[in-house]
Structure 1
Amino acid sequence: MNATILHESHGRIRIRLKQRRMTLEQADQLEAWLQSRNWAQQITVHERTCTVIAYYSGDRRAVLDDFRRFSWKEAEKNVNLPAHSSRALNREFEEKLVGKIMLKAACTLFLPPPLRIARILWHMVPFVRRGLRCLLRRRIKVDLLDALSISISACRGDFGTAGAVTFLLEVGELLEEWTRKKSMEDLARCMSLNIDRVWLRTEQGEVLVPVSQVQPGDAVIVRAGSVIPMDGIVLEGEATVNQASLTGESIPAIKRPNSTVYAGTVVEEGECVLEVKQASGQSRYDQIVHMIEQSEQMKSAAESKAAHLADKLVPYTFVGSLLSFALTRNVARALSVLMVDFSCALKLAMPLAVLSAMREAGKAHVTVKGGKFLEAVAAADTVVFDKTGTLTHACPRVAKVIPFGENKETDMLRLAACLEEHFPHSMANAVVEEAKRQGLTHEEFHSKVEYLVAHGIVSTVDGKRVLIGSAHFVFEDEKCKIPEGEQERFAMLPEEYSHLFLAIGGQLAAVLCISDPLREEAAAVLRTLRNMGIKRTVMLTGDSQRTAAAIASQLGVDEFRAEVLPADKAEFVARLRKEGHTVLMVGDGINDSPALSEADAGIAISDGAALAREIADITIAADSLWELVELRRIAMELMRRIHSNYRFVIGFNGVLIALGVMGILPPATSATLHNLSTLGVSLRSMGPLPQAQRTLIAE
């Protein structure tokens, strides 16, 4: 790429490309390609000026080398752009807004009065039509007030006021449409699929390939706990699929051969082979947008209250206008009241505040599926944590492998990795990574793999039943035995590790010791949450009582429960809610799904099981638990903003009505101030929430 450095400082560089113009698609490609570089912290591409602003870390030469070797052909091959571009949306609405303002200014300055009046009457038509529709349906809503105020002004010959009100309403509608679409696009992008690789069935067997290589007609294998990566038709197998995010169905759907499956849904039980129909999976985007637009579940109680109050206040505004006219016989005073109503700002500002908060959460790597869940986070007094992968690192490591019987350590690790690679979970990832570190290849030599939730994995190798999972599963459920003469060695297993038990043919074959270090920030995050109003923190784990107690003391949680099963977690959360607590549940595994569903708001870790992410109401990044603190801050600031908006809208519009009745404000001024206040509170609602310092950590 030919480019010139315009300006640079420490960790920041501004570069102009040596080309005359850049398309929106090229700008998206360049930004995505640069963002994928290891040095990239923040990349901004300005397509109008063909410039790039890059914030980077590390060696400056690496940054310049990447700019030099960039080519549009390489970007087209390696960068998968979303079907819907946020840049294109912003450009579209920028041009609409600027065009509307320029046209209004030009008409005011250059058109003769008769043509200006004709233009105003033309722009009045949609508002009058909506008002008449309300009247015919016998509904007194804000559309009727808008139509009456504009029509009365026009009838009185005050076309300046009618034109100003119409223009402000059009700008307000444009801004509302842009904010809603932008917020929904950001949310949909956050909630879209995050799948890098899939199991592809080929003539040579199952192959793990990048999702970008999958084409329509290919056969993809999806197993329990995994997300379906593409739209397709089931070729083989039978599975129950959780489709709640797309259809709202609470009961998983049974999928058999010839059934249609959709990208983004999750296999709860069983497995299937599907024929890919739409390789890109972009249909998921439109389904999510439709869900956000249509689902009443997305509305918080504050939004519903605002909409309900707004509708209730419209008749009072109408009656107040008639009463003002009856008492004063002054059309101007009555019109001043009519041109001011509470519903515009209430109906517009509250949803915008919620959508903007959800968008801001998305920028902080937190995906929120609806405003009601932010409200739950703000009101929460109890947080329940799963331990493994949540309070501990999502990538534990295999500390040692202890073989039993005549088995060899490397053979047992190879076998364990071969089984575990099919099911994404923190412990499974640890086993696979350890095998990779030791250079152990683990080709498929087992038969069908079956995953039992919260227990383990079952398969068959050389005609023998192979199990890997918890002690409860291997010894109590499956009645496996410890080889003779090795009971004492088994009793000496190191207690500082979590254990995975591998059994072959009913005999213990190996124990994999998993080190599960705590997240460095976990204790500080818990203290900070307490300072932000959380009264009770609880840790749930399947570990032994002794291990759980040691970890709980390090973290400083208020209480813990050890040796719990998925049903126990859900039952515990349900009991807390019955006691009157507002409960957040934080987890990452398939076994956390029932509790996530039971909580007021379920919060999943982004690199956890797909089923947990699908069921959860909120997803946070796996990098740091500080996202929980940021989520709580955003939720609390959102509620403060909503209450502040209530006070401002009621107070300001109440003053306007009073001044109008007293004859102090003429109708034009009253309408202008009302619409400007509505626009102002809406723009405020769209703005970023106040930042809070992370200095709340208790000493």
Structure 2
Amino acid sequence: MKFQIKHECRGRIRVQAMQQRMTLEQADMLEAWLLTLPQVERASVHERTRCAVIEYQGDRQDLLRALAGFSYQNHALAELVPLHSSRALNRAYEEKLVGMVAFKAVRSLFFPAPLRTAYAVVKAVPYLFRALRCLLRRQLHVELLDGISICLSMARRDFDTASSVMFLLRLGELLEEWTHKKSVENLARSMSLNIDRVWMKTEKGEELLPLHQVQAGDQVVVRMGGMIPLDGTIVEGEVMVNQASLTGESIPVPKRPGSSVYAGTVVEEGECVLTVTQQSGEGRYDKIVAMIEESEQLKSAAENHAAHLADQLVPYTLAGSALVYLLTRNVTRALSVLMVDFSCALKLSMPLAVLSAMSEASRFHVTVKGGKYLEAVAQADTIVFDKTGTLTHASPVVAQVIPFGGNKEPEMLRLAACLEEHFPHSMANAVVQAARERGLAHEEMHSQVEYLVAHGIASTVDGRRVIIGSAHFVFEDEGCTVPPGEQDAFDALPKQYSHLYLAVGGVLAAVICISDPLRVEAVDAVAALHDLGVGKIVMLTGDSERTAAAIAAQVGVDEYRAEVLPEDKARFVQAERAQGRTVVMIGDGINDSPALSAANVGIAISDGAAIAREIADITIAANDLFELVQLRRLSVALMNRIQSNYRFVIGFNGGLIALGALGILAPATSATLHNLSTLGISLRSMTNLLPPAKA
């Protein structure tokens, strides 16, 4: 395809597609394709101008050659396009906004006075009905003030002021609706499933296939700790399913053959085979949108306070207007007070600020499930980290495989990978990756796999029990032994690594040494969190005291606990909260789930266990702990903005009321300034909280 270079500077280029018209689908396709190019850091496509703005690194000629090879006819590109794009939504609201402003200008400039009056009367009817409904229900809400203001303006035959008030109210409502829907869409997309492959049951056995290849009627296997990838009906097995993400139920529910299960819920116990009833996409997304829109309990205390305060101030505005009339006997002054209220700005700006902050968080690859969690992060004084896969690198590696009992190293790694591939965790992924790198195929050769949280995995191969996991699980719980004559080799295991123990038939068969390097940004991220006012940072790990002490010293945490079980992590979090602390817990594994639930805010790593992501209140991407720092900055900035909004609304509108009562401002001027201030603070609430330099 041909592109024309319109402008460029170092690392940035703007090109225009040589086509007469670009559809929304084509713009989405081009943008998604650009973001897959290795040299492209950021890209945005503007369908109206057919232009793409590209920020890149590396060789300019490589980028131009790639652009020259782009084609909409490439069917593989269709899989890159998001199922739900905000481009159509933005286009629709942009057209509504432009149309509304243009029509207002045309009315003011070209409509004769009688026609403008008739238009104002027709448009006032809904506002008057809403005000009347409030009166009949004995509710003193902001709709009553709007109706009285418009009614009094029209009674004074000031139809232009009434029309302007209604225009500003509609404009504010449109902007609020636009921001709300866009925020919900962005949040829903980021919360949608991130599952690439599933185990499908076929005549040949279980096959690992891309999710998009699964059709309605296919059978999919889901094991304990796994996320159900598609809506379906269970045909084999009994499971306990955590449906909190969709239904809000805190307790897992039993599912048996014939029961329906839904995409995005998590199997906490057991395993099952389900028949797919709905393909990937619509069902899960729509459920998430409904959950976000209906989930009032996720509103922050600041939002609820603003909404309640807005309604509580309405009687005072009415009383102030009446008092001014009684003191001055001047209808104009009383109307000037009535034209101003605190409610509109409070009700509009606070939810917009929170929704915009949640949307902005997605720019940092952070998914926030509700405004109250941002508020809690801003107030947090204690942050608790899991170690493995959180403070340490997201992808531990197998450093060494030490066989015992005459076993061969490749065979032991093959056997370990066969068991570990069913339970995605950072250490399990390391074992599977090591087998893949060495070309060791590990076909299914075991019976049902049993996962024991924080301990290990057990199965049966060739009639013998095979287990892999921690020393506590293998030697204490299972009573396995070291082969005779090999105790010295066992005692000499390298201490700088974490160890996975593999036993077959009750005898140690191999020890897999896992190198779990500290994230390069961990030290700086912990220091930055301290600088942002977090007084206590704690590391919890199931590793040995030796390993935990070394990592804690490196990373700079205030405290650490070693050899802890899942229930120990949860008890620690509960004890901190009992002391009045606001606790944030960050983890990535199934064993972190109890602590994530116990904390004020649970934060999961995006490539961690599915159940951890579902239970967590916030999810961050796996590649950079500085997203936590950005989240803290964003949360603090949000609370500062909310407080700033309060001060502005009270100060500015209080000033307008005083000037109106003194007769300095006419009612039309008071109404215009009040509504312009409401619009202004709402637009400000929709702007980014953090500067681009920190993005």
Q: Any idea what the Cα deviations from partners look like across 1:283-332, whole Å, max 9, x if unmatched?
A: 22221111111112211111111111111111111111112122222111
TM-score, normalised to structure 1's length?
0.98
Q: Equivalent residue for 1:233?
A: 233
- Alignment-derived partner of residue 348 in structure 1: 348
Supply the AA of the counterpart residue of 2:67.
Answer: F
Q: Distance in 2 between matches of 1:438 and 1:387?
A: 28
Contact 1:229 1:264 in 2 (8 A): yes
3-state DSSP of counterpart to 1:395: coil
Question: How do residues 504-653 of structure 1 correspond to structure 2 at under 5 angstroms?
Answer: 504-653=504-653
Distance 1:13 1:19 in 2: 19
- Alignment length, in residue pairs? 694
One-letter amino acid of the counterpart of residue 506, structure 2: G
Q: What is the match of residue 21 of structure 1? A: 21
CA apart distance, 1:209: 1.1
8 Å Cα contact 1:33/1:79 also seen in 2? no
| 2:250 is the counterpart of 1:242 | no
Equivalent residue, structure 2, for 1:62: 62
Q: Is the 8 A contact 2:33 2:80 kept in 1?
A: no
Amino acid at match of 1:474: V
CA distance in 2 between counterparts of 1:7 and 1:101 reads: 32
Find the aligned partners of 1:202 and 1:32 in 2 and give their Cα distance. 33
Who is 2:386 aligned against? 386
Give, as a single letter, the amino acid of the residue that structure 1 aligns with 2:127. Answer: F
Q: Give percent identity, aligned residues only.
A: 67
**2:177 counterpart residue number:** 177
Residue 312 of structure 1 corresponds to 312
TM-score scaled by structure 2? 0.98
What is the DSSP-based 3-state SS (H/G/I as helix, E as strand, rest coil) of the residue aligned with 2:271? Answer: strand
Instruction: State which drifts further: 585-594 or 200-209.
Output: 200-209
CA deviation profile, 1:71-101 (whole Å, cap 9, x unmatched)? 2121565425344320111110110010011
TM-superposition CA deviations, 1:22-59 (whole Å, max 9, x none): 11111111111221222221111111111211112223
Map of 2:412 onto structure 1: 412
> In structure 1, how many angstroms separate the alpha carbons of the residues matched to 2:22 and 2:569?
54
Matched residue of 2:238: which SS? Answer: strand
- Contact kept, 8 Å, 2:539 with 2:552, in 1: the verdict is yes
**Alpha-carbon contact 2:457-2:467 (below 8 Å) kept:** yes
Alignment of 1:2-401 (within 5 A): 2-75=2-75, 78-401=78-401
Structure 2 Cα separation of the partners of residues 466 and 82 of structure 1? 42
1:33–1:75 contact (8 Å) kept in structure 2: no
- Paired residue type of 2:475: F
Superposed CA deviations along residues 673-695 of structure 1, whole A, max 9, x for unmatched, are 0000001111111001143988x
Q: Which residue of 2 aligns with 1:484?
A: 484
Match of residue 423 from structure 1: 423
Per the alignment, residue 669 of structure 1 pairs with 669
Deviations 1:636-690 (CA, angstroms, capped at 9, x unpaired): 0001000000000011111111111111111000000000000111111100114
Distance in 2 of aligned mates of 1:355 and 1:411: 53
Q: Aligned to 1:122, what secondary structure does the other structure show?
A: helix
Whole-Å Cα distance in 2 between the matches of residues 402 and 510 of structure 1? 5
Aligned-partner Cα distance in 1 for 2:517–2:39: 28
Q: Secondary structure at the match of 1:79?
A: helix
8 A contact 1:224–1:451 mirrored in 2: yes
Code of the residue aligned with 2:538 in structure 1: it is V
Unaligned runs of 5+ in 2: none
Offset of 1:19 from its aligned partner? 1.1
498-507 or 324-333: bigger deviation: 324-333
**Greater displacement, 392-401 / 77-86:** 77-86
- What is the CA deviation profile of residues 347-396 of structure 1, one whole-angstrom value per residue up to 9, with x for unaligned ones? 11011111111111111111111111111111111111100000000100
SS at match of 2:241: strand
Q: State the one-letter code of the partner of 2:283.
A: S
Q: Match for 2:26: what amino acid?
A: Q
Deviations 1:468-520 (A, max 9, x none): 11111111111111111111211111111000011111111111000000011
Aligned residue type for 1:95: E
Paired amino acid for 1:439? G
CA contact (8 A) 1:231 1:263 kept: yes
CA distance in 2, matches of 1:40, 1:228: 33
Distance in 1 between residues matched to 2:80 and 2:626, nearest whole Å: 30
One-letter amino acid of the structure 2 residue matched with residue 634 of structure 1: L
| Cα deviation 1:402-423 (Å, max 9, x = unaligned) | 1110211000000000111111
- For the residue of structure 1 that corresponds to 2:190, the secondary structure is helix
Does the C-alpha gap of structure 1 residues 76 and 122 become closer, same or farther in structure 2, counting only changes over 3 Å? farther
On the 8 A contact 1:263/1:281 being kept in 2, the answer is no
Which residue identity does 1:369 align to in structure 2? Answer: K
* Partner AA of 1:20 in structure 2: Q
* C-alpha distance in 2 between matches for 1:301 and 1:272: 41
Counterparts of 2:550 and 2:332, CA distance in 1: 75
1:475 aligns with 2:437: no
CA distance in 1: counterparts of 2:280 and 2:136, whole angstroms: 47
Measured in 2, the distance between the counterparts of 1:76 and 1:399 equals 37
CA RMSD, Structure 1 to Structure 2 (Å): 1.3
Please, which moves more after superposition, 684-693 or 641-650? 684-693
Does structure 1 conserve the Cα–Cα contact (< 8 Å) formed by 2:417 and 2:435?
Answer: yes
* Structure 1, 3-12 or 301-310: larger mean CA deviation: 3-12
Letter of the 1:147 partner, please give it: G
| Contact 2:33/2:77 (<8 A) preserved | no
